[in-house]
Amino acid sequence: MNNIDDRLVFRRGLALKNRVVMAPMTTKMSFFDGVVTTDELQYYALRSGEVGAVITAAANVQANGKGWEGELGVYDDKFIPGLSKLSSAIKKNGTKAILQIFHGGRMTNSTVLRGESTVSPSAIPAERPGSETPRELADFEIVELIEDFKKATERAIKAGFDGVELHGANTYLIQQFFSPHSNRREDEWGGTMERRFKFINDLVDGVTEIVDDSEVSNFIVGYRFSPEEYENPGIRFADTLYLVDKLADKPLDYLHISLNDFNRVSVSDDFKEHSMLKYVHEKINGRVPLIGVGDVRTRTDAEEVLKNAEIVAVGRALIIDPHWTNKVLSGQEQLIRRELSQFDREELIIENGLWAFLEGMMPDRLI
Applying CB under 6 A, among 119, 290, 293, 302 the residue interacting with ligand FMN is: 293
Catalytic-residue membership of 254: no
Region binding ligand FMN by CB under 6 A among candidate stretches 89-97, 182-190, 278-286, 289-297: 289-297
Contact 276, 290 (CB under 8 A): no
Identify the H or E element spanning 200: helix 198-213
| Pairwise CA distance, residues 167 & 182, whole Å | 17
Region binding ligand FMN by CB under 6 A among candidate stretches 198-206, 269-277, 290-298, 328-336: 290-298
Question: Buried b / exposed e across 162-192, counting CB within 10 Å, b at 16+?
Answer: bbbbbbbbbbbbbbbbbbbbbbbbeeebbee
Residue nearest ligand FMN by beta-carbon distance: 315
Identify the H or E element spanning 359: helix 352-361
| Pairwise CA distance, residues 82 & 96, whole Å | 17
Region binding ligand FMN by CB under 6 A among candidate stretches 116-124, 155-163, 173-181, 311-319: 311-319
| Pairwise CA distance, residues 337 & 352, whole Å | 21
Contact 154, 209 (CB under 8 A): no
Applying CB under 6 A, among 8, 35, 216, 361 the residue interacting with ligand FMN is: 361
The residue annotated as part of the active site, out of 43, 44, 75, 172, is 172
Which residue's CB is nearer to ligand FMN, number 211 or number 257?
257
| Pairwise CA distance, residues 49 & 63, whole Å | 32
| Binding-residue pattern over the window 215 to 254 for ligand FMN, x denoting contact by CB under 6 A | ---------x------------------------------
Applying CB under 6 A, among 24, 34, 168, 227 the residue interacting with ligand FMN is: 24
Applying CB under 6 A, among 72, 204, 314, 340 the residue interacting with ligand FMN is: 314
Residues contributing to the site for ligand FMN (CB under 6 A): 23-26, 57-58, 100, 167, 169-170, 224, 258, 260, 293-296, 314-317, 354, 357, 361
